[in-house]
Structure 1
């Protein structure tokens, strides 16, 4: 029974056309989910006017979407082991499409949050872990995996960076609602391409699922991020929510430790955190997406609310970040052959921090929109250089049987970074939309970025053998 499941993916991977279609489906899935997290940044004025809400209301919708992804990504990764990677991938696509169409028809902010923030968030949590698990399993050596992750991270980064431009063009040319119809159409294309996907590992229906752990982890993360969002309204509420979230997360880790010690299977194996290389890689992933989404929200909100730019003008400015990210991401395979992953991640952080500094200096000195282009270009180049090696470091640190867990944890950490970026920068910005608030938000992102650079510097000079510690032979296959 198990043999066809192992050989069929290999045959599919051996066919160039089939392999390209599979990679296209996986990359487009990452693209549309990243696009959803950033395209609303240029619709702030349009949505707030149409739905009779505020900038903060739109910020909440964006942050809740990112938060739902982060909170459910670990359970989503675990479900792939029980129900299969392809089945979870397709289920996530369907839920996402329903959420996108509901958002397009939303009569008010509540329905928009239900469709975009909740349903699209749940769909993303189901479909993204299989993207990274399938890529890790189908591309066993460092060169091919770097190439595949390079394409996926390039499309993901472009979705996040080009989301403002694409969303701006659709919003100005048609309506902000049409941007959600666009997402549903892309999902349809992904479903067609997904017919060629074969699951490298058969599902195991006997695998248990830690429902209590899933609830505790989700509630804990929600409370922490909602606490950050409450910072500009009530400091004591912020402290209370963050403290409550920390207590719930501590409860989650304690229950996982007890379940693991008794021979059970917790939602998240604490053994994952015993790998120092993976832990540092997770930190770099979190900070990378925090920088990307935090910068995107801050610059987009500032340009529209303070400078009075429309959606298209704001989106055009972000083209610089898109071009930089595309150029460096698509070079991932060549860079992986020539440089250690630690060097690439450190270089990426250094270039991105230069970009943040340039954004602060030039935006404060010049009134023209061109003042934002050099900084965004640097940020795009830096993020493109380090996104792929960070993912590769984490995924390659574990064997096949742990790919479901580490993929869910990895994506959760990354999306939590996106949530933190939008929540932290957005909270500072909406508290007082002025040049001072813009600079304060960007400086906050730069300080956190320095923490990411330190984590990258602590990575071992020699990365873990591609394919994981229990599959050393994978690193020699060409």
Structure 2
């Protein structure tokens, strides 16, 4: 979507802002429903939830490909693909966790997922840009449909074990409160690119009335506070439901594990720094050196190679080193990689100046993403995997949204000429990655939850 914004806007008769809004709504939909989607895996079954998510996602892609206006694009891309993502992503991590009780085996397959995510992030702009340029942006959505059909056919090999206990009820009130809280928090963060973080760079207008004038407090905090209040209400609701002996959307016991809490912090910071740094580098290459989407994607190839290499070695790393050490090494490698970019890549577009830093960043990302997921998921037994998977994915989504928004707002707010706004944004991300490293230093030694081997889907 990012590489085809202008083309899509012109073709369906809308503005660039309209297409950017659909992208924002997709992010909001997915982030808001991730916890609820994860809970559904415990109700309708993990394999069923995964396949349902694929079907909804595929239907959304098909509708988007047929869009003649912004309305159908929002329904297809923003809503249906967002809902589909919230349904299909959590079961992936649950299935790996319950199928492999050994931390080294888990590391291997979490590494496969991390490598696929890194490859997708790097290859997406390349493939999308190529298809949009040579065929049509609609063909990109048709390709998504074909991939969904392929995965659905392959997923028939996943065994579905019948439920042995009673089917839990779905906490509708909790789902609404958690979705509202995540929606407003993420929406507020995304507004930072327009209004800034502290003081508003423009009038904040609702219904023609200026609610917050330029120079007043940024509306970012208005939405974040609203979201925080909904989340507080959600936690109070969960506590009351647990005291009444009813099944909540998620259990508060998830937050009593020091290992998991620190692991969630590292996950959030990892996705923040990864998405933020890739955003800064991509915008820098396109704005300063005038690269197109395909050239930008090719320039990021060393990072892709690093992610794939470290993800492929995840099982070997897990057999030789504690997961907490791999998280620390990953943060350190990423920080050093960004420092190398700051030192050598600011005055040139030569690939040799970018390659060392990007490669080191990729190696760090692949190493710590796999280890952090392993630490968090392995902190709980099988009967709590549905809850922790949704919470983990929500925290990661929050980090992704915060990374892009933070990097973008720093670039816009910086008053330095030339490439210095990008250097300031990257420096900010280096500092944040070091904070993630500090959190990782407090991770305790691993004590894996006792589990019964299972291939339940």
1:43 aligns with 2:26: no
2:348 aligned residue: 366
Distance 1:166 1:142 in 2: 34
CA displacement, residues 57-103 of structure 1 (integer Å, 9 cap, x when unaligned): 55544343233222211111111111111111111001111111222
CA 1:52–1:436: 2 relative to 1, 3 Å: farther
Deviates further, 432-441 or 171-180: 432-441
CA 1:273–1:399: 2 relative to 1, 3 Å: same
Alpha-carbon distance, 1:349 to partner: 0.6
Correspondence for 1:189 among 150, 166, 187: 150
Correspondence for 1:439 among 423, 427, 434: 423
Alpha-carbon distance, 1:390 to partner: 0.8
Partners of 1:165 and 1:318 within 8 A in 2: no
Alignment root-mean-square deviation, CA: 2.4
1:244 aligned residue: 226
1:151 aligns with 2:134: no
Alpha-carbon distance, 1:203 to partner: 7.3
Structure with a larger share of its residues in helix: 1
Partners of 2:268 and 2:398 within 8 A in 1: yes
Distance 2:296 2:339 in 1: 20
Correspondence for 1:255 among 237, 256, 266: 237
CA 1:377–1:393: 2 relative to 1, 3 Å: same
Distance 1:358 1:57 in 2: 37
Deviates further, 315-324 or 175-184: 175-184
CA 1:55–1:428: 2 relative to 1, 3 Å: farther
1:1-400 alignment runs, 5 A limit: 40-47=1-8, 50=11, 58-200=19-161, 202=163, 206-231=167-192, 232-233=194-195, 234=200, 235-368=217-350, 371-400=353-382
Alpha-carbon distance, 1:401 to partner: 0.8
Distance 1:329 1:119 in 2: 30
CA displacement, residues 297-339 of structure 1 (integer Å, 9 cap, x when unaligned): 3322332344322221111112121111001100001000011
1:463 aligned residue: 446
CA 1:420–1:363: 2 relative to 1, 3 Å: same
Distance 2:108 2:97 in 1: 11
Alpha-carbon distance, 1:398 to partner: 0.7
Deviates further, 274-283 or 108-117: 108-117
1:452 aligned residue: 436
- Aligned residues, how many? 430
CA 1:439–1:114: 2 relative to 1, 3 Å: farther
CA 1:230–1:449: 2 relative to 1, 3 Å: same
CA displacement, residues 109-168 of structure 1 (integer Å, 9 cap, x when unaligned): 554343223211110110111111111111121222222212122112211232222223
TM-score in terms of structure 2 length: 0.87
CA 1:158–1:236: 2 relative to 1, 3 Å: same
1:424 aligns with 2:406: yes
Distance 1:362 1:171 in 2: 33
Distance 2:408 2:18 in 1: 11
Alpha-carbon distance, 1:397 to partner: 0.8
Secondary structure of the structure 1 residue equivalent to 2:346: helix
Alpha-carbon distance, 1:372 to partner: 3.5
Partners of 1:45 and 1:55 within 8 A in 2: yes
Partners of 2:264 and 2:395 within 8 A in 1: yes
Distance 2:428 2:164 in 1: 44
TM-score in terms of structure 1 length: 0.83
Distance 2:7 2:287 in 1: 11
Alpha-carbon distance, 1:52 to partner: 6.4
Partners of 1:78 and 1:404 within 8 A in 2: yes
CA 1:306–1:116: 2 relative to 1, 3 Å: farther
1:37 aligned residue: none
Alpha-carbon distance, 1:237 to partner: 1.8
CA displacement, residues 222-258 of structure 1 (integer Å, 9 cap, x when unaligned): 1112212223334432221111111111111111112
Alpha-carbon distance, 1:53 to partner: 6.2
Distance 2:358 2:181 in 1: 33
Distance 1:48 1:372 in 2: 33
Structure 2 alignment gaps of length 5 or more = 201-216
Distance 1:125 1:103 in 2: 18
